Amino acid sequence: MGIIGAGLLLESCATSLPLVKATPKGRSLFIPLSRFSGESKMMIVRSSSLENDILLIKEENEFRALSLKCTHEGVGLTATDKTIVCPAHGSTFDFKGNVLKEPALRPLQQFQTEISNENVLIHLI
- Per-residue confidence (pLDDT) for residue 15, from 0 to 100: 60
3-state secondary structure of 4: helix
Contact 15, 80 (CB under 8 A): yes
Distance CA 81, CA 72 (A): 22
Instruction: Give mean pLDDT, residues 14-32.
Output: 89
Mean pLDDT of the chain: 87
Q: What's this model's pTM, rounded to 2 decimal places?
A: 0.85
pLDDT at res. 114? 96
CATH 2.102.10.10 corresponds to the domain 3-123: yes
For residue range 41-77, list pLDDT tens digits in order.
999 999 999 999 999 999 887 999 999 999 999 999 9
User: Which residues 6+ apart lie within 8 Å of 34 measured at CB?
Assistant: 118
